[in-house]
Amino acid sequence: MKRITVVGASAAGLAAVETLRREGYDGTITLVGEEPELPYDRPPLSKQLLAAEWEPDRLALRTSADLAALDLDLRLGVAASGLELGARTVRLADGSEVPYDGLVIATGMRPRRLPGAGAHVLRTLDDALTLRQRLFPGQRLVVVGAGFLGAEAAAVAWRLGVRVTLLEPAAVPLAHAVGTEVGRLLARAHVDRGVELRCGVTVTEVTEEGVRLAGGEVVEGDEVLVAVGSLPNTEWLEGSGIALGDGVVCDEYCEAAENVYAAGDVARWYNPLFATSMRVEHRTNAAEQGMVAARNLLAAPGARKPFAPVPYFWSDQYDMKVQAYGYLRGHEEVAVVEGDLAQHRFVAAYRTGDRVSGALAIGMPPKVVRQWRQTIAVGAAWRDTVPRAAHRPQFT
């Protein structure tokens, strides 16, 4: 294998090229990135950067010298536009072509948008800086979507003295992911601070005055942030022969086709630990999956290892630190196993089938929730794990 191409220059792509070199690969590595910036960290975009606590230079994942030491054929500021599996060639938007013997797809995702013009999204450095310039005391911000991204941005805007309206189509924000009671707790954090939270409303379009709801009502705002989910960046792969289905479809080794692997937000792979196919949009997963994809690409036949992580994510909202391990979606039961929900200081365990599938903590030291990672990793039985806290409130 003389030439490896990695498409996507964010956390997953960077982890892949670094792993290739660390594993001793000395061939040509081409790293393609749509954005002109060197690889940077995205979680701070909706937190420290948006709040003007950090400047862009603090987001850099590696320095220019670090990247130079990797001896890369670096193609930044140009998107991939097509893939020829037979010819083993990636086409770029500038008309050039990059041959490969091995390929890692790490093209991430992009925000969903709503009809109408003028709304902000929050995915890139430019997105965050543009929105930051528009947030000042007395300004009215409408945030569409009360998921983790929308909630973080709303919390930052509130701290900056912005009048925030938060619109959410579900009856309880994030209930599908974290459960109804935890979702209500997160919702109350907004309401208690004076954010206008409206649930069960559908936004149909962005207007000059703000946004229009189904039924015709206009919710006014000086600025609008749309945070209603994401779409994996797979259009450039259509017609290539790569299987697509809410992402690049991979097996447990992250392989999508012969010598073609995927990693990060764009990858939908089979996680044998949870016996399900998943696509995870979290920073930690992107880096870990990039490393595994690179190792499996280089591995001898029979030496590949499945990617079977316990996913991890965190979120900062107001004075709350949310941390979670596992796969919480599709859970059937939740139980508080430590602390007190009413005090915003607790650990909740999640059940799927007969096993512990996740744990979420708010206001607890990292080491407390980290202990649950191993419980989830070994597939601990719910009945053997949670009864010790059976006297605590449980909810579904």
Strand partners, 346: 339, 362
49 and 187 fall within a common domain: no
Domain membership flag for residue 216: yes
Residues 52 and 93 in one domain: yes
> What amino acid is encoded at 48 in this protein?
Q
Please tell me the predicted confidence (pLDDT) of residue 390: 43
How is residue 38 annotated by DSSP? P
Q: What is the pLDDT of residue 387?
A: 64
**Is 191 in the same domain as 157?**
yes
Asked if 172 and 29 sit in the same domain, the reply is: no
Q: Report yes or no on 85 lying in a domain.
A: yes
380 CB-near residues (< 8 Å, 6+ apart): 355, 356
Name residue 315's beta-bridge partners: 322
Q: Kindly state whether residues 106 and 237 are assigned to the same domain.
A: yes
User: Do 25 and 101 belong to one domain?
Assistant: yes
The CATH number covering residue 125 comes to 3.50.50.60
The number of domains in the chain is 3
How far apart CA 81 and CA 99 sit, in angstroms, is 14
User: Do the beta carbons of residue 222 and residue 216 sit within 8 Å?
Assistant: no
Q: Is 312 a domain residue?
A: no
129 with 76, same domain: the answer is: no
Instruction: Examine the domain organization and report whether 214 and 241 are in the same domain.
Output: no
Q: Is 325 in the same domain as 284?
A: no
Residue written as token pair 């010298």: 65
pLDDT digits (tens, 9 = 90+) for 11-34: 999 999 999 999 999 999 999 999
Please check whether residues 289 and 327 belong to one and the same domain.
no
Range(s) of the domain holding residue 127: 113-226
- Give the pLDDT confidence of 110-149 residue by residue, as tens digits: 999 999 999 999 999 999 999 999 999 999 999 999 999 9
pLDDT in tens, the chain (396 residues): 999 999 999 999 999 999 999 999 999 999 999 999 999 999 999 999 999 999 999 999 999 999 999 999 999 999 999 999 999 999 999 999 999 999 999 999 999 999 999 999 999 999 999 999 999 999 999 999 999 999 999 999 999 999 999 999 999 999 988 999 999 999 999 999 999 999 999 999 999 999 999 999 999 999 999 999 999 999 999 999 999 999 999 999 999 999 999 999 999 999 999 999 999 999 999 999 999 999 999 999 899 999 999 999 999 999 999 999 999 999 999 999 999 988 899 999 999 999 999 999 999 998 999 999 999 999 999 999 986 544 344 444
Helical ranges in the chain per DSSP H: 11-22, 64-69, 125-132, 148-159, 175-178, 180-191, 283-298, 366-377, 382-385
Q: Are 6 and 13 in contact (CB under 8 A)?
A: yes
CATH (domain of 391): 3.30.390.30
CB distance 213 to 201 below 8 Å: yes
Q: Is 270 helix (H, G, I), strand (E, B) or coil?
A: strand
Tell me which residue of 189, 35, 208 sits closest to 118, measured CA to CA.
Answer: 208
Single out the residue of 150, 126, 109 nearest to residue 12, CA to CA. 109
| 22, 184, 317 from 189: Cα distances, Å | 44, 9, 8
Per-residue confidence (pLDDT) for residue 248, from 0 to 100: 98
- Flag whether 155 is in a domain: yes
Domain closes at, from 176, 201, 226: 226
